[in-house]
Amino acid sequence: MAAVLALATAPLAGQQVGSTATPITVTDLSGAEVRLDARAAGKPMLLEFWATWCEVCEALMPTVRAAHARFGQQVDFVGINVTVNESKARVARWVEREKPPYRVMYDARGVAVRAFEAPATSYVVIIDAGGVIRYTGIGEDQDLQAQLSKVVAR
C-alpha cells in the first residue's frame, strides 16, 4: 500500500527547489544557440518565463528591473519568451521598445519550458552558482531581491 500511495501522491517530475538545474541550450532572437548553465558559468542565474501578452509579467517588470539594478553584476538575468501566442517579430519589437533588463531567449521548441516545467508566464527560477535551484515563484508579488540576496551571499 505504501508503494501505491507514493505513486499516487508523488508530485509530477520536475526541477524542484533544492534540485540541480539541468543545463539546457536554447536560442536567442537571432537564432543563435545559448547554453544556460549557471554551474559552468560559476554565476547565479535568474530565469523569467514571459510573454509580450502577459499582464502579470508586465506588473512584475519593475521588480525585475530593481533586482537587476542591484544584482545585475553578480547574477545572469535571462528572460525566456515562451513563444505561445507570439511571433518573433512581435517579441523583437517589444524588446526594442521595452529594453528589458535580461538576455532574451525565444524558446520556439519549448526546451526551457519543459526543462523547468514552467506552469505559467511570470514564472521565475533562481539558480545558484553551483547549479542548484534555490527559488521558484510566480506572479507579480515576488520578492526577488530577498531571494537573490541568498544566492549571492552563498
Count of residues near other proteins by CB under 8 A: 30
Query: For residue 43, what is the DSSP state?
Result: S
How far apart are alpha carbons 19 and 105 in whole angstroms?
23
Binding mask 94-133 for other proteins (x = CB under 8 A): -------------xxxx--xx--xxxxxx-----------
Candidate segments 34-42, 82-90, 91-99, 125-133, binder of other proteins by CB under 8 A? 82-90
- Containing 79, the helix (H) or strand (E) segment is strand 76-81
How far apart are alpha carbons 87 and 108 in whole angstroms?
9
Instruction: List the one residue from 34, 41, 56, 152 that touches other proteins (CB under 8 A).
Output: 56
In the three-class reduction of DSSP (H, G, I as helix; E, B as strand; rest coil), residue 63 is classed as helix
How far apart are alpha carbons 17 and 54 in whole angstroms?
24
User: Counting contacts by CB under 8 A, is residue 60 touching other proteins?
Assistant: no
Instruction: List the one residue from 17, 19, 25, 53 that touches other proteins (CB under 8 A).
Output: 53
Candidate segments 26-34, 39-47, 76-84, 91-99, binder of other proteins by CB under 8 A? 76-84
Q: Return the residue matching grid coordinates 528591473.
A: 65
